[in-house]
Every structure is written in structure tokens, then in C-alpha cells.
């Protein structure tokens, strides 16, 4: 965890991809006052629509089917 805490910002700032470089680092590891429940996370604000791949896997809206995945 120390490695992530000490290096994550620099690694992200050096990324060649805008949404990675500009990403926020939420979580208590980066901000002791963070109350989200996250420890170490990256918020790229990059939208991903999981509907089609989940449909292909047979996962319905309540998380049952061929695979039971919780995607957030």
C-alpha cells in the first residue's frame, strides 16, 4: 500500500492517455477524509456500457444467469 500511496499520482500524471492522466484518485489511501469506503481507486470518468457484454454472458439485471457478476 505504501508503494501505491507514494507513486500513484506520478504514474497517472505520466500516462499518455488524457482520461488516465486526468483521473481522480479517490479513497482513504490518498485522502484520509474520504468517506466513500474506498481504499484505493481510480476515477477516470470514462463511461463503459456493460449491458451488451453482460447480456452475452447471460447475466440479467439482478445478477443471475450463467455468471453472477457485480459490475459497478
pLDDT one-digit tens code per residue, 31-50 = 999 999 999 999 998 888 88
Q: In this predicted model, which residue has the larger pLDDT, 72 or 34?
A: 34
10 by DSSP, 3-state: which? Answer: helix
**Alpha-carbon distance 61 to 5, whole Å?**
35
The x, y and z cell numbers of residue 21, run together, are 492522466
User: Nearest-CA neighbor of 29 among 38, 21, 17, 20?
Assistant: 38
Place 51 in a pLDDT band, splitting at 50, 70 and 90: confident
**Alpha-carbon distance 12 to 40, whole Å?**
13
Amino acid at each position: 500500500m505504501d508503494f501505491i500511496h507514494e507513486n500513484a499520482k506520478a504514474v497517472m500524471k505520466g500516462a499518455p492517455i488524457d482520461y488516465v492522466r486526468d483521473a481522480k484518485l479517490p479513497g482513504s489511501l490518498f485522502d484520509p477524509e474520504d468517506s466513500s469506503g474506498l481504499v484505493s481507486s481510480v476515477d477516470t470518468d470514462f463511461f463503459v456500457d456493460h449491458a451488451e457484454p453482460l447480456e452475452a454472458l447471460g447475466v440479467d439485471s439482478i445478477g443471475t444467469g450463467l455468471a453472477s457478476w457485480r459490475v459497478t
